[in-house]
Amino acid sequence: MDLLDGRFFPVLQSLTKLDTLKIGKMKRKILIVLIILAVVSGVIFFFYLGRERKNPSRLGLKNIADTPVNKICLKISEPGDIYYCLAVTNQDAKYCQNLDMPNQKKLCQGMAKRDVSFCREINEAEPRKMCFYELAAITENINYCDEAEDAEHCYFNLISSFYWAGQAEKIKAEYCNKFPAQSPDRSTCLALKEKDVSLCEENNSACLTLFRQDLSFCENIKPEDKIKCIRDRAIIAEDPAVCERAADQEVKDECYFGYVSHFDPDISLCEKIQAKMKKNACYLGAAIALSKED
């Protein structure tokens, strides 16, 4: 019997359709498997890359000393911030060469070498301001603030850091005189210098918050100042558990960050912070604080 007989065409066509359907299904299955494999491979590569980017040897840090400060720096998740942390805390500008942005590199070099000339070369407002601020703080030289755009804020940043560190004796009368005569910051400076809340002007919450107050004091503070107010309660009470009493996670993060960078370089508190950038800043603050103790 001739297989090409017309009677067999329907059967052949049916078989052909079945084969086509089977092949189509197989192709779809293969395609799905390939997609799944691609996704899994991508995820594995992502985590591998993340680990490699933090791997000291991959970052050119094979010979880094195994010190407590360096260990904190290596907890930072961003490679650029790791280099900056190592440069500043070790006063070694070689790490700055790994930074790509020219202004960030100058900021790093200025901090690592404790050299204000690098700050003057920065042409972007934010890193330039940060350079003067941070250099004044790490060298405890208030005169570096004179060149900052917001000099008075820079003055206050250094003065309050002395106070929080229990070193009010470092606050000189001439520092307070850098503020205008009628500025509430001048009276606040004098109150911190003498550790005397009575020197705060009435209704000057920015001054009053720096002294022992109940947590309820923060309820009457302007919304934009409440985060700092809660942080102040934690530092003054020497109790980071106060941070947990904040309802908002952002406030908790800021509270832990402030506690660590202003008062106690306890990195276990940094690990409670959820915001990635704030956590990195917390590790950096802890490393710098610890390096100043050495």
Secondary structure of the chain in HEC code, one letter for each residue? CCCCCHHHHHHHHHHHHHHHHHHHHHHHHHHHHHHHHHHHHHHHHHHHHHHHHHCCCCCCCCCCCCCHHHHHHCCCCCHHHHHHHHHHHHCCHHHHHHCCCHHHHHHHHHHHHCCHHHHHCCCCHHHHHHHHHHHHHHHCCHHHHHHCCCHHHHHHHHHHHHHHCCCHHHCCHHHHCCCCCCCHHHHHHHHHHHCCHHHCCCCCHHHHCCCCCCHHHHHHCCHHHHHHHHHHHHHHHCCHHHHHHCCCHHHHHHHHHHHHHHCCCCHHHHCCCCCHHHHHHHHHHHHHHHHHHC
Distance from the first to the final alpha carbon of the chain: 100
Res 203: pLDDT: 83
Confidence of residue 260 (pLDDT cuts 50, 70, 90): very high
Using a 10 angstrom Cβ sphere, with 0-12 exposed, 13-18 middle and 19 or more buried, the burial of residue 78 is: middle
pLDDT at residue 52 tops 60: no
Tens-digit pLDDT profile for residues 112-148: 999 999 999 999 999 999 999 999 999 999 999 999 9
Tens-digit pLDDT profile for residues 74-102: 999 999 999 999 999 999 999 999 998 99
Pairwise CA distance, residues 209 & 163, whole Å: 13
Res 143: pLDDT: 96
Q: Provide mean pLDDT across the span 213-241.
A: 90
Kindly report the number of other CB atoms within 10 A of residue 224's CB atom.
7
Q: Provide mean pLDDT across the span 19-37.
A: 53
Pairwise CA distance, residues 197 & 119, whole Å: 36
Cβ–Cβ < 8 Å for 227, 254: yes
For residue 268, CA distances in Å to 25, 61, 236, 249, 263 come to: 54, 24, 19, 17, 14
Pairwise CA distance, residues 231 & 251, whole Å: 8
Res 222: pLDDT: 84
Q: Provide mean pLDDT across the span 2-26.
A: 42
Tens-digit pLDDT profile for residues 265-293: 999 999 999 999 999 999 999 999 999 87
Pairwise CA distance, residues 259 & 192, whole Å: 18
* Mean of per-residue pLDDT scores for the chain: 84
Confidence of residue 172 (pLDDT cuts 50, 70, 90): very high
Pick from 129, 137, 136: which is nearest to 107 by CA? 129
Res 48: pLDDT: 39
User: Which token pair is 66?
Assistant: 């195994």
Res 58: pLDDT: 54
Instruction: Please state the pTM of the whole predicted model.
Output: 0.77
Res 236: pLDDT: 94
